[in-house]
Amino acid sequence: MTEDSNVNMKKQYSPRTAWLGGVAFTFLIALLGFLLALVPGFNQIGQLACAIIIAVFYRQIFGYPETIRSGIAFSAKRLLRAAIILYGLKLNISTVLSDGLGLLAIDAGVITFAIFATIGLAKLFKADKNISLLLGVGTGVCGAAAIAAVAPIVKAKDEDTAIGVGIIALMGTVFAIAYTILRPVLPLDSIQYGIWSGASLHEVAHVALAGAPAGEEGLAMALLGKLGRVFLLVPLCFIFIAIMKRKNKANDTDNAKIEFPWFLVGFIIFSILGSYVFGHSIPLSDGVMDGVSTLTTWLLTAAMVGLGLNVSLKDLRDRALRPLAAMTVTSIALSVIVYFIV
């Protein structure tokens, strides 16, 4: 009865209708995530994490909506890449190169430590390697955007990507709040506190949240430190491409060729446009930039919904707790190390 019903339902939808329905469905859950993020308590973890939570619970209660799979897959793959490309506008290359060269060395060390420490602890804790790798990248670079950029290169499962993004969003928020609580009692001036926040917190939003209490100068330094880590995302991705190609060659897996991540080219182009064109020759108003930022958030949220629908709570319990522990220890160690560096 159920199988026949599913077959009949699939026949009711044309490919175009199924595609449109799937995309619309991901944006509907993204909207529910936005509304849930307005509720006190949930407003601390943000729209992205709220939408993933709703998507995961939808999957457990109602199952995966197979009839609109094509549209959901489009959101999870294509809209995700579009969001990363638009994310490039947030990276001001000229600012990083002119004012943040000193921070780049710290940022490079942060990324290296976060990845290797998380992987090392994952081996110690016998945690899932793929999820731990994604969490290490997200912790070291720029949270969800970094995970989304690296996931297709290392051929991570959609489920693993969604789990990684959800954990990063949650833990990053916890750490950002902890930073704001500790700010008044730490023997750091606003500049030092800003550098500490920007070099050690997970996402741009987390850095902005934690850096705000330090005033304009402190927040500016925090964002500058974070921009340096975003800047290093591109070379990091190419390093992973080289590693995966070497790994495939060693295993004689010619049929598992690494697809070149063309969206990174878009990311670079938009970074250049945002740094040297829109910021100078064709200046864009704050309203336009805010609109692009909002669009980026919605595209990324819809994409994460598509990924979240692939998550099984049973697998989440079995596979996520140990990577979460590895990432938490790494994040604490990273905060302490950067604190003493600055």
The pLDDT value given to residue 3: 42
* Helix spans in the chain (H): 2-12, 15-36, 46-62, 69-74, 80-87, 93-99, 101-125, 129-140, 144-150, 158-182, 190-200, 204-211, 215-231, 233-250, 262-272, 286-308, 313-341
- pLDDT band, residue 259 (cuts 50/70/90): low
Does residue 130 register a pLDDT over 50? yes
The pLDDT value given to residue 281: 65
CA dihedral (161, 164, 169, 170) positive or negative: positive
Q: Identify the top-confidence range among 51-65, 129-143, 153-167, 314-328.
A: 129-143
Please name which of 135, 134, 193 lies closest in space to residue 335, comparing C-alpha atoms: 193
The pLDDT value given to residue 158: 86
| Per-residue tokens: 170 | 């949650």
Please name which of 231, 172, 164 lies closest in space to residue 200, comparing C-alpha atoms: 172
Residues 6+ apart with CB under 8 A from 5: none
The region of weakest confidence among 32-41, 245-254, 263-272 is 245-254
Q: Identify the top-confidence range among 116-130, 196-210, 290-304.
A: 116-130
- pLDDT band, residue 2 (cuts 50/70/90): very low
Mean pLDDT of the residues in the chain: 86
Angle between helix axes 233-250 and 262-272 (nearest 10 degrees) is 160
| Per-residue tokens: 326 | 């590895």
Does residue 240 register a pLDDT over 50? yes
Does residue 187 register a pLDDT over 70? yes
Say what percent of the chain tops pLDDT 90: 38
pTM of the model: 0.79
Q: Distance between CA atoms of 319 and 161, rounded to whole angstroms?
A: 12
Please name which of 171, 179, 170 lies closest in space to residue 339, comparing C-alpha atoms: 179
Q: Identify the top-confidence range among 31-35, 102-106, 272-276.
A: 31-35
pLDDT in tens, 148-183: 889 989 989 888 998 898 888 888 888 988 998 899
- Range 323-333 average pLDDT: 96
- pLDDT band, residue 6 (cuts 50/70/90): very low
The region of weakest confidence among 55-59, 121-125, 275-279 is 275-279
Q: Distance between CA atoms of 159 and 182, rounded to whole angstroms?
A: 35
Does residue 219 register a pLDDT over 60? yes
Angle between helix axes 46-62 and 313-341 (nearest 10 degrees) is 160
